[in-house]
Each structure stands twice: as structure tokens, then as C-alpha cells.
A and B are shown apart, each in its own frame.
Chain A
Amino acid sequence: MSQLSERPVEAVVGLPLPHESAALHVTGEALYTDDLVVRTRDVLHAWPVQSPYAHARIVDLQVKPAYDVPGVVRVLTSDDVPGVNDAGVKHDEPLFPDAEVMFHGHAICWVLGETLEAARLGAEAVQVEYEPLPSLVSVREAIAAGNFQGTGRHLERGDVETALTTAAHVFQGEFEFAGQEHFYLETHVALALVDEGGQIFVQSSSQHPSETQEIVAHVLGVASHAVTVQCLRMGGGFGGKEMQPHGFAAIAALGATLTGRPVRLRLNRTQDVTMSGKRHGFHSQWRAGFDDDGRLVALEATLTADGGWSLDLSEPVLARAMCHIDNAYWIPNVRVDGRIAKTNKTSQTAFRGFGGPQGMLVIENVLGRCAPLLGYDAMELRRRNLYQPGHTTPYGQPVRHAERLEACWSEVVRGGEVERRQAEIEQFNAIHPNTKRGLAMTPVKFGISFNLTAFNQAGALVHVYKDGSVLINHGGTEMGQGLHTKMLQVAATTLGVPLERVRLAPTRTDKVPNTSATAASSGADLNGAAIKNACEQIRERLAQVAGSRLGLHAHDVRFADGMVRGLQGGSLSWDDVVLAAYFQRVQLWAAGFYRTEGLHWDANAMQGEPFKYFAYGVAAAEVEVDGFTGAYTLRRVDIVHDVGDSLSPLIDLGQIEGGFVQGTGWLTLEDLRWDESDGPHRGRLATQAASTYKLPSFSEMPQVFNVHLLDKAHEDGAVYGSKAVGEPPLMLAFSVREALRQAAAAFGPVGTSVDLPSPATPEAVYWALDEARSAAPVPSSFSLSGV
């Protein structure tokens, strides 16, 4: 067991605690960025002027009429930018587009008003003359036009060509699937003001305050030390606030510096949905070869990510997609090409799973389509292709703990009574012509760490005050994932104090600098290790103090439960030791630091060991589909998921359940409909509000929902033996999609292979089952091309 992962006996980590802010959440006392507005004086409100074209040249911009609207204070345009007119880190994302608008809803300028209403009317008064330009809206259009951005990638192992020529069964197909809107309940918001001495203070709903700070600084043309960014908490992030908040924060900061007044920029839902990036939709083309035993021998695929109008995080998203096209399956010969289409849409960005889900969806779709054609039950086909110990991934990383896949799988089969239920479903389907059930199991293997090695570092600041109370601060942000709860538990465990003695201060860039985004599920791994490091420094100093008081060597004292005990007897209270240390002039605070060891990645060759470890899980989902409408219900879900030794089981359970339902939303319900017609609204997102873009509600919750954490799952490489949990469970939702496919197939003859679009909305399921229903029996020798 490593020093990092070793857990003391009376640990506070591992206790099932509710979220640290739960009591504040339920009473409405918890403050979010926009709640600060009423607590701030003389705030100005911002409203954007948005493009009504997917692509157009800005011929003329007249802002003067806005000033005639009562209450309008200032219109911000590109002329006002003292620094760099850029909202991203790739220099392809002008904060104010001064020549061309690149997507429907692109903000051209921003109006500041005494009230939101004044700003809105001011924006209506701004006159923009456009010259519409040809646009590419769908990924297919971009592919046809050869319009790509960023660097294409190639990942290869083995000899795909030979393997496909000699394989017993070869199938091929094309599969395009939709992205997903984050729909964090709290939309993007920033509140900026100028402090004393020209210092800019921005409160931002940001997963990446350090980068928000950098962008604000470069837009204002000031050094980073002149800008402080704070994030109290977010009302959800899911990756949507990793890159996207920066520009909004910069607009607010620019407004504040120009007017001398605090500026609030809060997007309403429609603005948020039409302006901010989403999960990438992908187009995929694939060929897969199987041997006679149903084992995958080769996979060839071309993935095209629909990047939208600028790069944002599309390159790392694509890399992760390519690195997860194997999901949990051993494929000896692999060739994957990846590229990023440039389309006139919002600039797509990080979203829980970060490309991983898209990569995996491709292989799960292949298996779901091919199983009936190979004459296999899909469950059996998946199981026999699972990674075994000793296997490596296509990019050359050993699949450590591959046996946990089988462990999760058999645990789900047992606990979920899968065999009994399969038999019941068969009987049910035989006597119900208009209703069919399906039960599917899918695995997940997800790599943890940022693909870019440099991001795998974190800092923390821990103060112990003279009265023994502890204040911690770290670079991670809280968006509901329970990071702060875990960090409090880590600090209490390391210092051996009761949880109540530890408080956590909001995330700010002037406490811990140069932080990475709270993303890639790595928040607890990185920041937890940094906090542990800081606490250990303090504890070691205190051990000296306590040791000399107890007449023992510092190594022979233990910290637990607010007491410092000698191994050979004798004890002191934590408070006494702290106070004594103060009088001995011992430093009672420390800065902690952590960097993940052992990572290496050659981004060009797509080879290396980019991940510290893999998180595993397996889900079984049972659905019931109505043959008249395609409507369905999720009857039961069983999950076994590997979170290592959980830092905080109630939090982890919440991440698994929430991630699963969010993934189910992506795959079944959430429908991004862009206007791809040549009509006047080309490029407009038709589902840009909660009334048209439907999130899962209570009716989509599994009726029976059993989630278990995998036993004996210690992870040697991470803080207190735990594993990251934020993203991987989302991908367990493939089980729902595959169950729907099976239920739809049950309307047809045995062996029907169902082509299911994604999202599998009731309409999509209806057409799929309708086709199955009218399908002729499939001849057994049938080998399909152009699936």
C-alpha cells in the first residue's frame, strides 16, 4: 500500500456524510454567484446582441440608438478591448467578433443597463447590418466540404487490414449521434467589480477560475496578479463551465473597468443554450471483424467530432474519444482516425466524460448491432470480449485491474438476478404482442487523469489557527459533485481532528494559484492529495511539539479524533498541542502540492500511459417499450461500480446515480435540433429552451435503482485508496440504449438487428420497432454490409 493511499483506522474519510452544504441548500441559504447581486450596490446588468444568422459578415454596427434607451449606460464592443480580443486559449475565439459572426446566436456586442430591462431594450435598439454567408450546419455538410479544424489524429495497433480480410465475419456501418446540452440548472453568470487600486475582482460560476483569471487579464491587458477570481459554488457544471465562463467573465470585468461600477452578466436559459458549447455530436464510420467465437479481431473507425465554430477543447475531447473506442473490450487490431469538423454552431466543449462517451458509444453500437447477426445474445457477446488481466489498450497502456470488470459483471448478474429476469422477459414478450421488454448489460472502463500531463497538478492551503480550528482552501471548485465534502474529510483524517473543526473557504485564485480545471473526474484525486500533503506538513511539525511534551519521538505520536496520543501512552488534546506550537513559534499553516506520478503521453503517436488508473463499472437495465407509440419506461437498473475505497460513500452514490440518469438523458431523450434547412432560420437551435429540450424528470428515473460500490477495490495510486467517480457512471447508461434496442428487436423475428438512432427518443424507438415488426425473418448466413 502506498503512503498516499494508506488509510488510518479512525478515518473520517469513508464515512457516508451528506453534502457539506446540504443544510444551506435546502433552506435556500447557500449563495450562488447571482445571489450576490442584491448584496452588491449599484450593479449594472448586461444583455447581448445576438446574430440571427449562422454565418454572416458584419457590414455595419450602430450602437448609438441603444444610448437613447433610458437606463442604458454603456455598449461594449471590440473597440473597447484594451488587451487581446480573445475569449479562449487557442486564439480562434474573438470575444467580440468584429468581422464575421460564426453561428446563430453569436454575441456581437453587449449592452449595460441600470436594469436588465433597460439592457434588453438597449440591445434591441442596436442596429446591425449583416451580409449572410454560406454556412455549414451539420457534420455531414462539413465532411462533404472538407472543413476541418485543429489536428487530426491517428491511433493504430496491429494489422487491421489483414485481420479484416481474414476475419470470419465483417460488418460495417455509419453512425451519427447527437451531442448534449449541459443544462446545469444555474446558467452562466459573472459579477465583476473594480477593487481598490485597480484590482479586478470577479465572482464567476467557473470550473476553472485560474483560466478565467488568465483570460480576464489578457482581455484587460493587465497582469494576472491584478485579477482575482472567486467561485463560491456552482449550480452544476458538468464540464460546461470549464472553458465557457471565461468570455462572460471578461465582458463583465471589461464593463466594470469602463464604468467603475459592478457588472453582472447572467445569461438567461435561451442565451445560455444558444451561446455556450455542448457535448460534441460525432459522425462515425466503422468496420469490425469477429472470429467464429464472437471475439472482436479488428476495428477500423473514422471519428469526426462536430466541433462547432472554434476549437475550444475539441482536440483533447477527440483524443479521449479515440482512447475510449475500445471501452472495456480487447481488440487486437485497431485503427482509428479522428478529425474535428468546423461547423457554424456553438463551439462544443467539455461535458462529463469528455469524448469518452462518444468513443464508447461507437463500439457499443457495433456490438449491439452485430450480436444478433453473429447469432449471439448481446450480453454474452459483450462478456466474452471483456479485457482480461495482461491486456493492453490500443494506445499501449496495460489494463491494470482488468479482473474488476469480470468482478463487477458477475456481481451485477448475481445481485440483479439477471438470468431469472431474462427468462421472465422471454415469457412476457411471448404473450404480449404490443409490449416488449429488453434487458441489457454494458461495462465501462474509463481512464482517469487529464490526457495532457501538465494539468495533473494541484495546490492547497491549510491554516491551523491558535484555537485549533482549521481552515482549508484548495484549487478545486464545487459544482455539486461533493468535492468540498471529500476535502473536509481528507483534512480531518490527515490532521486527526473531528470534522467540525475544519472549515473550507471558497475557491479563489489569490489563495491557490495556477490551478487546473476541476474536471476529468480528477478533483478529489488531485486536490485531496494536495490537501493531504499540506496537512501532513503541519502534522509533522505538531508531532515534534507533542513528542517533546510527551517525552517521545515524534514518530511515536498519533493524531486521531482531536487527540494526540503517544504509542507508549500519554495523550494531549489537539488544541493544547496547537497552542503550544504557536508559542514555540512553529508554523501552523502550509501550502500543499501534488503532481500525479508515472504519466507519459505522446500526443502525436497516440501512445503512452496517459492514465493513472481505470475506473470500472457494469450496469444492467431493463426497459418496457410500448409498440403503439415507442414510449418506454425504465423498469429496473442494477449497477456495480468501482470507486476504489470510497472517500465519501453517500457522495459517490449520488455521482453514480446522477451520472447514470444524465447519460440516459443524452442517449434517449435530449434532442438538440439544429435547423439544417435552407430556410431563414438555418443554423438556429430549435430546441433552445426547457420546454423543447427535455431533460430527464421523475418519469425517467429507474423504477428500481440498485447501486453498489465494488468491494475490495483499494486503489494504490490515489488519495486514501479512492478512485475518481464524477464521469465514469454516465457511460453506464449505454445499458438503457441497448435494452431499448433489444426490446425493439423483440417486435421482430429472432435475430433482428435493430438500427437505433441516438438519442433513442420514443419516436426513434417507434420507427425502429416498426421496422423490426415488418422485417422478414433474417436468413442465418446473412452477413451485412452497410449496416
Chain B
Amino acid sequence: MSTTIKVNGQDLPLGGASVHTTTLDWLRDRGLTGAKEGCAEGECGACSVLVARPGIDSPTEWTAINACLVPVAALDGQEIVTSEGLGTSSELHPVQRELAVRGGSQCGFCTPGFVCSMAAEYYRPTRTASAEEDCEHGPNGFDLHSLSGNLCRCTGYRPIRDAAYALGDPDGDDTFAARQSSPPPPPAPTRLTVNGAEFVRPEQLDDVLELIAECPEAKVVAGSTDTGVEVNLRGVRPSLVVAVDRLPELREFSIDDEQVRIGAALTLTEVERLLAGRVPLLEQLFPQFASRLIRNGATIGGNLGTGSPIGDTPPALLALDASLVLASRRGERTVALADYFTGYRETLKAPDELIRAVLIPLPLAPLTAFHKIAKRRFDDISSVAVGYALDVVDGVVREARIGLGGVAATPIRARATEQALVGRPWTERTVREAAAVMATEGTPLDDHRASASYRSAMLGQSLLRFHAQQLHVEGVSA
């Protein structure tokens, strides 16, 4: 059993870390103070580091994650690179050089984090130069969304963007690029006990199911993007943490004629890459879900595991009529997502059950969209989220499924609105009437993100917008 982490090419013993010690604190305690704490909740990216993860387009991909959210025990046996490891002030890495000479740093506190996020995009195997520059992609194929989880309070971002767009391709002798052609270290089965608390990474699903059946206090952790925030900001300290994010059984992915099957422990980034646009509704969702840094860690199962009323995948998956495979020592069962949420942060899932997979039935409805209302376009939590899946035949709505987030104690289907649409012509008049119904769905609340009246207004407006956007494809699905 391994108890070291390879950091910048050197094996460092885990020693001294507690079950809840974050990767960030652990690195800083070892004198690697490049990564900083700006928020401890995954929002600022000052803590970004690179982890060697199994890739989709190459055996390994350098993946940037928030070191403040991931317990260091979860990286047992893994490989990390920090800003210090990428280059030194006398020998700068290309990413560091571009940032330095272009005025990409002012106070410099956010900079090591930007360097890591930017390096991950620099090494992305699918990044290719393209003539098609838009306001989110550079001529070198650099996707600005890769920096959406990094905040800078000083520069206003323009020089950082210019640095990113000026990057070339890695040299032939670039060791980080070379590292991507061999696989990452396999997940290390881990059992760390400190001061009576325990972190366990079992090797297979059965072991996990056994453990959570036996120990009701067990806290399942996947990407830790929710759990990490609970630990850091709310002082939650589970006495038994069970890591499930590398379980092969939870990382399966398949598509056949009947359905898409997505393993619960696949990250949002992985799901996006594996689907490659085959579910257009989700394709619209991904760039609006948190930031690249968070999507690199956050799993789809975790997003459903929280039972949160403001998660973004539930409204989309409700519209797609998805169901979940729940596994326990007692066996497996499949439940419709529409039945899954039972109350505020309560679900049908029994304490001894894990979400194993998400199933999306095929064929997909032809008219789909995902609308997210938030204060900020990149990396913000929804005030309201809406998923649409409609089938319009000969100008008449044959089927309508609308999923809503942020307007009730759970994600809900907009049943009344669906009824107001089905069987009626897909016209402005129908839509106006249905929009009025939609504005009364749920029981939205006032909070610091939005007022209740704005949330309601946004529901109605969303349907109008959906219709306005679909006008030109009307009837095509028939």
C-alpha cells in the first residue's frame, strides 16, 4: 500500500496529514507555498494544481483541480505538479514566460493557480490551432473556459488572455507532454487512520457497498467538490470517509440503441468528452456548469448525490427522462429521476445505496435546450435552471418534458406547463399562454442570488426565449 505522493517528480510521504487535510494545506506545510488559499471553496482557483489523470485522448492528461477541496489522502499514490514544478524563475515554463512578460501578474497571488490551469490547457491533447477565433477561443485553440475557475482581482484578465492565446505547442523534448503518453499511476487502495478518523479507498464496488452497509457514519466522497466545501467552511468532519471516485464499476460509459449509460464517478469533464456532443442538451449545460477546474473533479453522481435543489444536471436529466441505477449490498434497482427527489436534500436513495450510473433513454427528443439564470456567466450557481425536451410533429407539440431547478425544495418537472403545451400548436400564442403558467411553477424563494419574483419571471421568460430560439427549426423534427 502506497503512502506517498509524487510531487514535482519527488516522492513525498503523506505523513502528518489528517483525514481531512486538504491537498493545499499539505503542499503548503511541505514548503510548497506556490499554491495559495484565496477562498477554500473552489471559487478562485488560487490553489490550482495539476494531477496526472487517465485521459480520453491520451493515456494521461494533466488535469487542473482545486487543491483546496480534495483531501490529500485521496491523492495517495498519485502524481501532482505545482507551479514550482513547472519551472523556476531562472528557467520559466512557456506558460510562465508568456504570463510574466505580458503583464499577466500584478500582485501575483492568483498567478500560480492561473499557471496550472493554463498549463493543463496548453497540454490538452485535443487543443489544435484553428482559424476560427471567437471570443472564447484563441487562434491556438486555447479554450478560455479552462480559466473560468480562476479569479484575478488585479489585472482585469486581458493580459492573461493574451498570454494564453500566444502559447504555441509544447516542444518535442517537453517532459510534461511526454508524460501524457504513458498511463497515470493506478488508484492506490488507501486506509489512513489519524486521531480516530479514517479515510478509506476500497478497490472495488462490493467493498464499498459492504462498508457503507456496515458503517452508517460513512461519508461517501467522489470529487469532493461539495464535501470539501462542507469540511472547509462548515467545519464538517466525518469520522469515516469512503472514496469512490476511482471505482471502475462507477466509471463505465456506454451508448447503444436504447440508452446512454454514464458511470456516476465520471467527472463532468469526462462525460462531456465521452458524449462528444451526442446529447445536445447536456452539451449546452457543460460550459455553464461551474468552472473547468470544478468540472475536472465534480462527478455526475455527486451532483445527484447531494440532492441539492439547485444542481444543474437534475433539470437537464429530468427533461431527458433519465433514471438512476442505485446499488447496494442488497442488489441494484433503477429509479426514475422524476421520482428520486423526495424533499429538501432528501432522495429515494437509502443510506446504504450508491448511485452507480445515470441512464438516458434514446432516441432523444428533437427540441432541447438548457437555460441557466445566474449573476455571472462563468462559474456561478443557478438562480433558476431549466431543461427542455420537446417533440413537435407537424407543428403540434406531441411531447414536452421540462425540468426546473432553483424554484422548489427539489428539482421538479414543470407538469402544468407541459400540459399547457402538449397537443397544442407550437405557436407564439400557445407559448405565451404556457409561459404564464410556467411563471407560476414551483414556490421560489427570495435569497441573495435572486428575488422570488425574478425567479418566477425567469421561468416564463425562459419559455419565450426557448420558443424564439427554436422558431427557425420549427417542424424540422416531424
Residues on A close to B: CB < 8 A?
18-19, 21-32, 34-35, 38-39, 117, 120, 124, 182-187, 233-238, 268-270, 434, 479-482, 628-629, 631, 633, 650-651, 653-654, 657-662, 669, 671, 673, 686-687, 689-692, 694-703, 705, 761-763, 766-767, 770
Check if B375 is an interface residue, CB within 8 A of chain A.
Answer: yes
Given A673-B448, A701-B156, A39:B31 Cβ within 8 A:
yes
Q: Is the CB of B31 within 8 A of A38?
A: yes
Who on chain B is nearest to A21 by CB? Answer: B108
- B181 part of interface (Cβ distance < 8 Å): no
Q: Which residues of A contact B100 (CB under 8 A)?
A: 18, 22-23, 25-26
Contacts of B246 in A (CB 8 A): none
Is A697 a contact of B376 with CB atoms below 8 Å? yes
Q: Are A690 and B155 in contact (CB under 8 A)?
A: no
Which of B28, B34, B375 touches A29 (beta carbons < 8 Å)?
B34
Can you name the residue of chain B whose Cβ is closest to the Cβ of A663?
Answer: B156
Residues A236 and B448 in contact in the complex (CB < 8 Å), given A38-B28, A703-B135: no
Asked, given contacts A26-B92, A39-B31, A658-B106, whether A671 binds B155 with beta carbons under 8 Å apart, the answer is: no
- Given the known inter-chain contacts A26-B100, A183-B153, A631-B377, please indicate yes or no for A689 contacting B454, CB distance below 8 A: no
Judge whether A763 and B450 touch: CB under 8 Å.
yes
Q: Binding site of B, secondary structure by majority: helix, strand, loop or mixed?
A: loop
Chain A residues contacting B158 (CB-CB under 8 Å) are 657, 701-702, 705
* Interchain CB contact (< 8 A) of B89 among A23, A32, A270, A700: A23
Question: Which of B109, B151, B373 lies in contact with A186, CB distance below 8 A?
Answer: B109
- CB <8 Å contact, B101 and A28: no
A698 near B144: Cβ-Cβ < 8 Å: yes
Q: How far is the CA of A697 from the CA of B152 in the complex (A)?
A: 7
Q: Is B286 an interface residue when CB atoms closer than 8 A count as contact?
A: no
- A482-B380 contact in complex given A26-B92, A690-B43, C-beta closer than 8 Å: no
A689–B161 Cα gap in the complex (Å)? Answer: 26
Q: Which residues of B contact A673 (CB under 8 A)?
A: 448
Known contacts A238-B153, A699-B376, A766-B457: A654-B107 contact under CB 8 Å: no
Give the CA-CA distance A695 to B149 in the complex, in Å: 12
Q: How far is the CB of B95 from chain A (nearest CB, A)?
A: 8
Interface residue from A18, A628, A660, A661 paired with B101 (Cβ < 8 Å): A18
Contact of A762 among B103, B375, B447 (CB under 8 A): B375
- Count of chain B residues near A, Cβ 8 A: 86
Residues on B with beta carbons closer than 8 Å to the beta carbon of A238: 153
Question: Within the complex, what minimum Cβ distance (angstroms) separates A700 from chain B?
Answer: 7
Residues of A within 8 A of B374 (CB): 762
**With a CB–CB cut-off of 8 A, which chain A residues contact B88?**
27, 29
17 additional contacts (CB under 8 A) given A18-B103, A763-B450: A21-B105, A22-B100, A25-B105, A26-B97, A27-B112, A38-B33, A120-B235, A185-B46, A185-B109, A268-B232, A653-B103, A654-B154, A654-B155, A689-B41, A690-B43, A695-B151, A698-B378
A31 — which chain B residues lie within 8 A by C-beta?
33
A695 to B111, CA, bound (A): 16
The answer, among B144, B233, B380, for a CB contact under 8 Å with A694, is B380
Q: How far is the CB of A142 from chain B (nearest CB, A)?
A: 22
Q: Please, which residues of chain B bring their CB within 8 A of the CB of A270?
A: 233
Q: How far is the CA of A658 from the CA of B153 in the complex (A)?
A: 7
Partner of B83, one of A26, A692, A705: A26
Most chain A beta-carbon contacts within 10 A, residue among B159, B232, B380, B449: B449
| Pair A185/B115 contact, Cβ less than 8 Å | no
5 smallest A-B Cβ distances: which pairs?
A28-B34, A480-B107, A235-B109, A25-B108, A661-B156
| Pairwise interchain contact A657-B36, C-beta atoms closer than 8 A | no
Given contacts A27-B92, A28-B83, A690-B151, contact A701 B105 (CB under 8 A): no
Residue of B nearest to A675 (CB): B448
* Contact status B378-A697, CB under 8 Å: yes
Alpha-carbon gap, A24 to B375, bound state (A): 34
| A270, B40: Cα distance in complex, Å | 10
Assembled-state Cα–Cα distance A227/B37 (Å): 29
Interface string of B132-150 (1 = CB under 8 A from A): 0001000000001001101
Tell me, yes or no, whether B325 is within 8 Å of chain A by CB.
no
A237 to B381, CA, bound (A): 27
Contact residue among B38, B87, B89 (Cβ-Cβ distance under 8 Å from A690): B38
Q: What residue of chain B has the Cβ atom nearest to residue A654's Cβ?
A: B103
Q: How far is the CB of A339 from chain B (nearest CB, A)?
A: 28
A-B contact pairs, 21 of them (CB 8 A): A24-B89, A26-B112, A27-B83, A27-B89, A28-B82, A28-B83, A31-B33, A32-B109, A38-B30, A184-B109, A185-B44, A236-B106, A479-B107, A480-B106, A480-B107, A661-B157, A692-B448, A692-B449, A697-B157, A701-B157, A762-B375
- Could you say which residues of chain A place their CB within 8 Å of the CB of B109? 32, 184-186, 235-236, 480
CB distance from B196 to the nearest CB of A (A): 12
Given contacts A22-B100, A26-B92, A657-B159, contact A234 B377 (CB under 8 A): no
B182 to chain A, nearest CB (A): 26
Interfacial residues, chain B to chain A (CB-CB below 8 A): 18, 28-41, 43-44, 46, 82-84, 86-89, 92, 95-97, 99-112, 115, 135, 144, 147-148, 150-159, 161, 229, 232-233, 235, 373-381, 383, 447-451, 454, 457-458, 461-462, 464-465, 468
In contact, A185 and B106 (Cβ under 8 angstroms): no
Chain B residues with CB under 8 Å of A237's CB are: 107
Q: How far is the CA of A669 from the CA of B151 in the complex (A)?
A: 14
Residues of A within 8 A of B378 (CB): 697-699
Per a CB cutoff under 8 Å, which of A481, A698, A703, A767 touches B148?
A: A698
Cα–Cα distance between A21 and B105 once the two chains are bound (Å): 9
CB distance from B77 to the nearest CB of A (A): 24
User: Out of A26, A28, A269, A653, which one reaches B35, CB within 8 Å?
Assistant: A28
B41 with A690: CB separation less than 8 A: yes
Could you tell me the distance between the alpha carbons of A690 and B378 in the complex, rounded to whole angstroms? 13
In the complex the two chains form, is B375's CB within 8 Å of A671's CB? yes
Whole-angstrom distance between the Cβ of B170 and the nearest chain A Cβ: 17
Whether the pair A185, B110 counts as a contact (CB closer than 8 A) is: yes
In the bound complex, residues from chain A placing their C-beta under 8 Å from that of B379 are 697
In whole angstroms, how far apart are the Cα atoms of A690 and B229 in the complex?
Answer: 11
Closest to B109 in A: A235
- Chain B residue at minimal CB-CB distance from A481: B106
Q: How far is the CA of A317 from the CA of B462 in the complex (A)?
A: 43
Is the pair A19, B151 in contact by a Cβ cutoff of 8 Å? no
CA distance A691 to B100 in the complex (A): 29
A628 lies within 8 A of B156 (CB): no
Find the B residue at minimum CB distance from A632.
B377
Contacts of A686 in B (CB 8 A): 447-448
Asked whether A695 lies within 8 Å of B112 as measured between CB atoms, the reply is no
A689 touches B233 (CB 8 A): yes
**Cα distance A616–B402 in the bound complex, in angstroms:** 53
Task: Note all chain B residues with C-beta closer than 8 A to A236.
Answer: 106-107, 109, 153-154
Identify which of A24, A650, A691, A700 contacts B108 (C-beta below 8 A).
A24
* Chain B residues closer than 8 Å to A25, beta-carbon distance: 99-100, 105, 108, 111-112
Tell me which of A669, A689, A761, A767 contacts B39 (CB under 8 A).
A689
| Cβ contact within 8 Å between A35 and B376 | no
Given contacts A689-B39, A690-B44, contact A23 B92 (CB under 8 A): yes
Give the complex CA separation of A701 and B110 in angstroms: 16
Q: Which residues of chain A are within 8 angstroms of B106 by Cβ–Cβ distance?
A: 19, 236, 480-482, 654, 658
| B108 pairs with A19, CB closer than 8 A | yes
The CA of A692 and the CA of B375, in the complex, are separated in Å by 10
Shortest distance between the CB of B461 and any CB in chain A (Å): 4
A235 to B155, CA, bound (A): 12
Q: Is the CB of A235 within 8 A of B107?
A: yes
Q: Which residue of chain A has the shortest Cβ distance to B46 in the bound complex? A: A185
- B108 contacts A30, C-beta separation under 8 Å: yes
Cβ of B155: which chain A residues have Cβ within 8 Å of it?
654, 657-658, 661
A706 and chain B: residue at smallest CB distance: B158
* Interchain CB contact under 8 A, B377 and A763: no
Q: Most chain-B Cβ atoms within 10 A of its Cβ — which of A23, A117, A187, A689?
A: A23
Find out whether the CB atom of A185 lies under 8 angstroms from the CB atom of B84: no
Distance of A21 Cα from B153 Cα, bound (Å)? 17
How many angstroms between the C-alpha atoms of A480 and B106 in the bound complex?
A: 4
